[in-house]
Amino acid sequence: MNSLFFHTLLLVYLGASILHILFLTTGNQTVTKFAYWLTVGGFVLHSAFILLRWQHAGHLMAHWYDSTSFLAWAIILIYLCIAHLTHLHTIGVFVVPAAFIATLVAYTLQTQENTAIPTYLQNYWLIAHSSVIFLAYAAFIAAFGFGLMYLIEEKKIREKQHTLIFNLLPALGRSDEIGHKCILVGVILMTMGILIGALWTQYVKEIKWTWVDSKVIFTIATWLIYVLQLSIRQILGWRGRKTAYSAIVGFAAVLFTYVGVNLFLPSIHAF
Amino acid sequence: MNQIVTVGTSHHVAPLDFRERLSFSENQLTDAFQLLAEHPDVREAAILSTCNRVEVYAVTHSEDGCDVLSDFLSNYHQIKLQQLGKFTYSHQNLDAVHHLFNVTASLDSMVVGEPQILGQVKEAYAQSLAAGATGNVLNRLFTKAISVGKRVRTETNIAAGAVSISYAAVELAKKIFQSLEDKTVAIIGAGEMSELTAQHLVKNNVSKVIVANRTYQRAVDIAKKFNGIPLAYDADLSFLVEADIVISSTDAPHYLIDRPALAEIMRQRKHRYMFLIDIAVPRDIDPEVDKVENAFLYNIDDLETVVASNLKDRGQEAEIAIQIVKEEVAKFHTRLQILEVNPIIKALHQQFQGVASKELETCLDKAQLNPKQQKMVEAMTQSIIKKLLHQPTAHLRQIALNPDLIGTVNDANDDYVQYVHALHEIFGLEQTAGTNDVEE
């Protein structure tokens, strides 16, 4: 059941990624419609699977495996929100492949599926804490996508080359503005996630709050990067290229906090 | 046989004064449709009249439908047939279909890919429909033509990219700011190109126009055109702090704006984006300015290059559009042929049904069956009719699509007509008045 699901979902996300990229190389509006609806289909399938798994296993987000799958789902959720609110489907070119990669990683981690989960992790604290943090990650990935789109479009404008990509990518002001909003949403979610995590340690005796956990340190560092960027934008009017670069730096920090810390540093966080 | 025909004129074949004489005003359309409706040979009609083209479409009984329309135009506009022939074109059947599809796809327009024509065809069709001039065939033709126009625009980039310098400037501004609604434009100096560009920007709702000129009176004169704010300009550039778009076209022999000056202005405006357009020769703005963060500079050469490359791109996209049109013409051809054969099939079915229901009635009267048995007999009758007619119906549809299947040595289309005629004779079908009155 799991592998059938994963194979289908991987195919759907791969197809949607290819269609999104195809749109950027051909400009065919029909392709973008297909790409969008295929992604919607993948999202529905993915949501159903997460719910089923939750019901079946009795816990959610207790493994790398589950959490990465959730991250992919969150990325798609953010993409659909952006597409719905702004009609900017081009962001799909950057984020749908990211969701595909996350799903692929989850697929390779499937073996973890049956490891025993301590009971103190089988509760809503874990679900609230990590799902909010992962939604924040997804928003930061979208901001990263907008940063890339900004830089490409700016390059095209400076080179005075009005190619197809120039026509299809959103205006500089728009990429900048929506990217900024994604960061704002991400920071709010991340703040909530950190607070939930801190409260959790107060109520559950098996987990002690600690500042020296590497995951906590890097999470806070990542959070600071974004907060700093937002403040400077507010005060000095940083925008455009600088926002784009900080979205990329922030994304690198997210990636390290999520993956790097667990590979290279010890932590009480399993993921 | 019915024919789809069109006679018309466009910028390709006729000068403006001729197109003017041939055009139909809104008021004229009503009597024009009236006249066409009264014509014994004309079954359906539609008129497309824009500043670049005037075309009459019709479905006629007669073989020489194009002559019917030429006569009509000649009479209506009091133009001699000979002159009319010189400046008009005519197409019939599939060529007429192909032509209309080309028109809606904007492949026949002066600027390929221009957006207006599709709306104009929609409007023309709506008027013809409202006047009751169109019928089954033209309704299908125009609906399809409009959808072909849409398909070409969504599946190709034929309409992408500005093809004039002032539009290219506006398009760029939109690629930087997205919306121009709360933006301020500053025009430095004067000139036709800068005013034209400013005009397009105003049309796109910029909120404020500043006109700076060395002579104040000149600034006032130009500012009037855009409801702008006049300004006597000397060396002071501080008004640029609030300008989002700067159009410069003075005859100054040196740079008015250099990099350090603009960097300072950008700092004062908190690095909000600025788009500078330098139309002056020699240039007003130091090219180094383009390196200032969030400031984007285009000079006249840059804009011209953009326009040239957009035109080239449209040419390539047109190739794809031509293929789409061809494909759609072929599909429409198929639909038309099926449409032609439908009335015969319907007549055949009616004939059989008529006989069957009469016989059934007599039989049921005599036989005194219970309701269940009655139903069975009725169902059996229907089934017999269906099975008997299945083969002829399928065969008729097939030869409608491909008259060559009749397999004689003469012209396939003539054979087809005779074949249909024979069918009528053999089964004693009533000749339907028109072959297109029946819905599919």
Q: What is the pLDDT of residues B244-273, one digit of tens each?
A: 999 998 888 889 999 999 999 999 988 899
| A239·B302 Cβ contact <8 A | no
What are the tens digits of pLDDT across the range B119-135?
999 999 999 999 999 99
B178: helix, strand or coil = coil
What are the tens digits of pLDDT across the range A18-69?
999 998 888 888 888 899 999 999 999 999 888 888 877 766 766 777 788 8
| Two structure tokens written together for B91 | 């197409």
Residues A245 and A208 in one domain: yes
| Chain A interface includes B288 (CB < 8 A) | no
B256: helix, strand or coil = coil
What are the φ and ψ backbone dihedral angles of A252, each rounded to 5 degrees? -60, -40
pLDDT at B423: 81
| A174·B178 Cβ contact <8 A | yes
Residues A150 and A109 in one domain: no
pLDDT at B410: 59
| A164·B273 Cβ contact <8 A | no
Flag whether pLDDT at A261 surpasses 80. no
Q: B290 contacts in A (CB within 8 Å)?
A: 158
pLDDT at A40: 93
Q: A29 contacts in B (CB within 8 Å)?
A: 154-155
pLDDT at B436: 42
| Helix H or strand E encompassing B137 | helix B136-155
How does residue A271 score in pLDDT terms, banded at 50, 70 and 90?
low
Residues 180-209 of B with CB under 8 A from A: none
Strand B208-213 relative to strand B229-232, pairing: parallel
CB atoms within 10 A of CB B207: 12
Flag whether pLDDT at B194 surpasses 90. no
Q: CA A73 to CA B413: how far, in whole Å?
A: 60
Residues A189 and A228 in one domain: yes
pLDDT at B421: 77
How does residue B387 score in pLDDT terms, banded at 50, 70 and 90?
very high
Strand B42-49 relative to strand B53-60, pairing: antiparallel
Residues A94 and A140 in one domain: no
| A30·B294 Cβ contact <8 A | no
Give the least confident one: A262-266, B146-150, B179-183, B210-214. A262-266
Residues A130 and A251 in one domain: yes
Flag whether pLDDT at A113 surpasses 60. no
What is the arithmetic mean of pLDDT over B320-341? 88
- B35, exposed or middle or buried, with CB in 10 Å at 0-12, 13-18, 19+? middle
Residue B254 φ/ψ region, left for φ over 0, alpha for ψ in the -120 to 50 degree band, beta for the rest: beta
Strand-pairing partners, residue B231, are B212
List the one residue out of A114, A266, A133, A262 whose CA is nearest residue A189: A133
pLDDT at A122: 63
What are the tens digits of pLDDT across the range A206-241?
666 666 677 788 888 999 999 998 998 888 877 888
> Which DSSP state fits B257?
B
Domain residues for the domain of A166 are 118-271
- Find the helix packing angle between A241-255 and A214-236, rounded to 10°: 170
pLDDT at B342: 79
The C-alpha of B80 sits at a distance from chain A's nearest C-alpha, in angstroms, of: 48
pLDDT at A209: 67
pLDDT at A200: 81
Of residues A81 and A238, more confidence is placed in A81
Terminal-to-terminal C-alpha distance of chain A: 25
What are the φ and ψ backbone dihedral angles of B25, each rounded to 5 degrees? -80, 170
What are the φ and ψ backbone dihedral angles of B280, each rounded to 5 degrees? -75, 145
pLDDT at B440: 35
What is the arithmetic mean of pLDDT over B324-333? 93
Flag whether pLDDT at B196 surpasses 60. yes
Domain boundary, last residue among A53, A84, A117: A117
Terminal-to-terminal C-alpha distance of chain B: 18
Residues A91 and A144 in one domain: no
User: Chain B: residue nearest A33 by CA?
Assistant: B154
What are the φ and ψ backbone dihedral angles of B351, each rounded to 5 degrees? -55, -50
Residues A68 and A186 in one domain: no
Flag whether pLDDT at B437 surpasses 50. no
Q: CA A138 to CA A151: how far, in whole Å?
A: 20
ipTM of the complex: 0.82
| Two structure tokens written together for A59 | 């816990």
pLDDT at B439: 37
Count of CA atoms in the C-beta half-sphere (13 A) of A251:
22
Give the least confident one: A30-39, A102-111, B43-52, B166-175. A102-111
Flag whether pLDDT at B381 surpasses 50. yes
Q: CA A15 to CA B103: how far, in whole Å?
A: 36
Q: What is the mean pLDDT of chain B?
A: 87
Flag whether pLDDT at B433 surpasses 80. no
Residues A54 and A124 in one domain: no
Domain boundary, last residue among A117, A139, A167: A117
| Two structure tokens written together for B437 | 């009155």
Residues A79 and A197 in one domain: no
Residues A153 and A83 in one domain: no
Give how many domains chain A has, as a whole number.
Answer: 2
- CA angle, B158 then B161 then B163, to 5°: 100
pLDDT at B53: 93
Please identify which of the residues B16, B51, B111, B330 carries the catalytic annotation.
Answer: B51
Q: A177 contacts in B (CB within 8 Å)?
A: 178
- pLDDT over 90 percentage in chain B: 46
Buried b (16+ CB within 10 A) or exposed e, B250-267: beeeebbbebebbbebbe
pLDDT at B348: 87
| B290·A158 Cβ contact <8 A | yes
Flag whether pLDDT at B415 surpasses 60. yes
- CA angle, B119 then B318 then A26, to 5°: 100
**Cβ(A148)–Cβ(A93) below 8 Å:** no
Distances (CA, A) of A15 to A7, A19, A29, B170: 12, 6, 16, 36
| Helix H or strand E encompassing A78 | helix A64-86
pLDDT at B435: 43
User: Chain A: residue nearest B274 by CA?
Assistant: A173
Q: Cis before residue B282, ω within 30 degrees of 0? A: yes
How does residue A136 score in pLDDT terms, banded at 50, 70 and 90?
very high
**Cβ(A106)–Cβ(A9) below 8 Å:** no
Residues A167 and A254 in one domain: yes
- Domains of chain B and CATH, by start: 3-155 (3.30.460.30), 180-307 (3.40.50.720), 337-427 (no CATH)
Decide if B51 is catalytic: yes
pLDDT at B185: 93
Domain boundary, last residue among A80, A102, A117: A117
Residue type, B401: L
What are the tens digits of pLDDT across the range B274-304?
999 998 888 899 999 999 989 999 998 898 8
Residues A141 and A75 in one domain: no
List the one residue out of B314, B294, B295 whose CA is nearest residue B306: B314
pLDDT at A106: 83
| Helix H or strand E encompassing B57 | strand B53-60
| Chain B interface includes A155 (CB < 8 A) | no
